[in-house]
Structure formats: structure tokens, C-alpha cells
């Protein structure tokens, strides 16, 4: 007797059938093209049950079937993936996560994306402390001096980072030179987080982390910003996990599978 579903009801409920169908899609997605015997074995179902589920999915174009080869993902999933990507609005998906982070930190929280070599702010939750941070939604801020900007380019190769640094002109007095900035960026890339140490705005510091999309590439970033008096080195270190975890949670809601994909070039 094949499979191990002998104890399952002869007529599975609708939810059981649905979950089995979803499990089947997961197996095909992980395996690529897979023959019926191997598919049934991985699912722990009989060939007849597996064939019945797969046939229904083929009819609805969730799977395709090639003679003597087996099953692979179907064109319907491409359509749904495209529609999902069109419907996924980054600020809308990120907002609940930003609000939670804001409640926990009481500092200003930003969301932004890379826009023609600048950090474009898409959302801002103003902190509760008595400090004014001049950023506004729609602002385009430098990459080199903002935590958010640095987080957006953590995957870039060194030559690209040097181009970005030089494109913003000579550094301000007291700001890191190119060599120091590149060293910082190497360290930030390893840690998956970036800092702004009063480089962009006097007495303002921030901790930022990248958001990854379904491909594993960086599609945005978030930051927590506050006055230096509330953002000493120890507090910034303490915020690292919270900021990074929030960015990762947003990424997962966008379809990120937890794997990093670095830019090539």
C-alpha cells in the first residue's frame, strides 16, 4: 500500500483538500518539475489521491504537466504573482510595523526608498519627545549622511559606493572621508544595519535597516531617529535588533523568504 494517508477520511473535508493542494504546490515549487511517484512520496499520500489533486490544479492552471516528466508550476501563478506585486503598496504594508516600532521607542520612525541616488521618505511617524526632526514625507535626502540612505545601499559593490560618496561633493567638516565611510559601510553591511551619527542633522542620530522584497534585493529601509541626548551609543546598540527585526517583518509581508540577494556589478 503506498503512502501513509490510510487513516485519513475517504472524503476529506474542504479545508483538508485545500491544505493538501497548497502542500502540493509547495513541494512542486521547491522541487521544480517532479514526477507523480516522487510527488506522492513527499506528500505522504497515495498516487491516486495525489493524481486527483494535481489534475484539479492543472485544470485551473496552477500546475502544468509534461508527459514523461511530471508537474511544474503553472501560468496562473505568474498571473497571481503579478497581481499581488501590483497590489502590494510598501507604505500600506509597512505602516502597522512602523506604528508598533514607534510605540515601543517613542522616537521618530521613517520609511524610505532609493530614488535616483537619494533617499526618498515615504512615511514618517513623529516621535513623542520634545525634539523637532526636520524631515518630511516626500523629502529626498542624501545617501552618504543619513542612516536610511546608507541602509538602502548596503548591498552595493564598493565601486558603486565610492561613486555615491563622490556624487555628493566634498564632505562637511567633521564628516567621514571616503576611506572611513567605506569602512563603515563594510561594517554596516555585515551587521545588516546602518547608523547616522549626527552626520545629516546636528544632534540627531538614527538606526536604520533595509527592507528586502521577494527577490531578496533591498526595496526600502526604515529608521528610528532621535536627539543625541536620548540616543547614546548604548541605546543605539539596544535598538539594532528591534529596527532590524521590524524591517525583516515588513520584508516577509512583501514576500521575502529570508534569503539575501546582493546586487551584481
Q: Looking only at Cα atoms, what is the longest distance across the chain?
A: 78
- Long-range contacts of the stretch 131-140 (C-beta < 8 A, 24+): 131/204, 131/226, 131/227, 131/230, 133/108, 133/201, 133/204, 133/225, 134/201, 135/108, 135/110, 135/225, 140/115, 140/116
* The last residue of a domain, from among 32, 57, 84: 84
Q: Indicate whether 89 pLDDT > 80.
A: yes
Query: Any idea what the CATH number is for the domain that residue 24 is in?
Result: 1.10.10.10
Q: Specify if 4 maps to a domain.
A: no
Question: Quick one: pLDDT at residue 185?
Answer: 96
Q: Indicate whether 8 pLDDT > 50.
A: no
For residues 215-230, average pLDDT: 92
Q: Specify if 218 maps to a domain.
A: yes
Q: State which residues form the domain around 52.
A: 13-84
For residues 209-235, average pLDDT: 93
Identify whether residues 57 and 109 lie together within a single domain: no
Instruction: Tell me the pLDDT of the chain averaged across its residues.
Output: 89
Candidates 181, 163, 234, 245; CA nearest to 211 is 245
Identify whether residues 100 and 213 lie together within a single domain: yes
* pTM over cut 0.85: no
Per-residue pLDDT tens digits for 126-168: 988 877 787 889 889 999 999 999 999 999 999 999 999 999 9
* The last residue of a domain, from among 37, 61, 84: 84
* The last residue of a domain, from among 67, 84, 101: 84
Question: Quick one: pLDDT at residue 261?
Answer: 72
Q: Indicate whether 10 pLDDT > 50.
A: no
For residues 176-205, average pLDDT: 93
CA distance 27 to 107: 44
Q: Specify if 7 maps to a domain.
A: no
3-state DSSP helix/strand/coil % of the chain, to nearest 5: 45, 20, 35
Identify whether residues 197 and 235 lie together within a single domain: yes
Per-residue pLDDT tens digits for 48-88: 999 999 999 999 999 999 988 999 999 999 888 766 766 66
Identify whether residues 201 and 110 lie together within a single domain: yes
Identify whether residues 171 and 75 lie together within a single domain: no
Q: Indicate whether 4 pLDDT > 50.
A: no
Q: Indicate whether 251 pLDDT > 80.
A: yes
CA 137 to chain centre: 21
Identify whether residues 228 and 215 lie together within a single domain: yes
Number of domains in the chain: 2
CA distance 28 to 119: 39
Identify whether residues 132 and 239 lie together within a single domain: yes
Helix, coil or strand: residue 170:
coil
Q: Specify if 259 maps to a domain.
A: no
Poorest-confidence range of 7-16, 74-83, 205-214?
7-16
pLDDT category, 262, cuts 50, 70, 90? low
Identify whether residues 114 and 188 lie together within a single domain: yes
CA distance 9 to 208: 51
Alpha-carbon dihedral sign for residues 148, 90, 109, 249: negative
Identify whether residues 235 and 176 lie together within a single domain: yes
Identify whether residues 170 and 246 lie together within a single domain: yes
Query: Any idea what the CATH number is for the domain that residue 126 is in?
Result: 3.30.450.40
For residues 24-30, average pLDDT: 94
Amino acid at each position: 500500500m503506498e503512502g501513509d494517508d490510510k487513516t485519513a477520511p475517504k472524503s476529506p473535508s474542504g479545508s483538508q483538500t485545500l491544505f493538501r493542494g497548497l502542500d502540493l504546490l509547495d513541494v512542486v515549487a521547491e522541487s521544480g518539475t517532479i514526477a507523480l511517484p516522487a510527488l506522492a512520496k513527499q506528500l505522504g499520500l497515495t498516487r491516486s489521491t495525489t493524481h486527483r489533486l494535481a489534475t484539479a490544479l492543472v485544470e485551473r492552471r496552477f500546475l502544468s504537466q509534461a508527459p514523461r516528466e511530471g508537474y511544474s508550476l503553472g501560468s496562473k501563478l505568474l498571473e497571481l504573482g503579478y497581481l499581488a506585486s501590483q497590489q502590494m503598496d510598501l507604505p500600506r504594508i509597512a505602516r502597522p510595523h512602523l506604528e508598533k516600532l514607534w510605540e515601543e521607542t517613542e522616537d521618530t520612525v521613517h520609511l524610505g526608498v532609493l530614488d535616483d541616488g537619494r533617499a526618498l521618505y515615504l512615511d514618517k511617524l513623529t516621535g513623542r519627545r520634545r525634539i523637532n526632526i526636520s524631515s518630511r514625507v516626500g523629502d529626498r535626502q542624501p545617501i552618504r549622511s543619513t542612516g536610511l540612505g546608507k541602509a538602502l545601499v548596503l548591498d552595493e559593490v564598493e565601486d558603486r559606493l565610492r561613486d555615491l560618496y563622490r556624487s555628493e561633493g566634498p564632505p562637511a567638516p567633521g564628516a567621514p572621508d571616503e576611506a572611513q565611510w567605506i569602512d563603515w559601510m563594510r561594517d554596516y553591511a555585515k551587521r545588516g544595519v546602518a547608523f547616522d551619527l549626527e552626520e545629516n542633522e546636528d544632534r540627531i542620530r538614527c538606526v536604520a535597516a533595509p527592507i528586502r522584497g521577494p527577490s531578496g534585493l533591498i526595496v526600502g529601509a526604515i529608521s528610528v531617529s532621535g536627539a543625541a541626548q536620548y540616543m547614546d551609543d548604548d541605546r543605539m546598540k539596544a535598538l539594532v535588533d528591534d529596527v532590524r527585526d521590524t524591517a525583516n517583518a515588513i520584508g516577509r509581508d512583501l514576500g521575502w523568504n529570508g534569503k539575501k540577494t546582493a546586487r551584481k556589478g
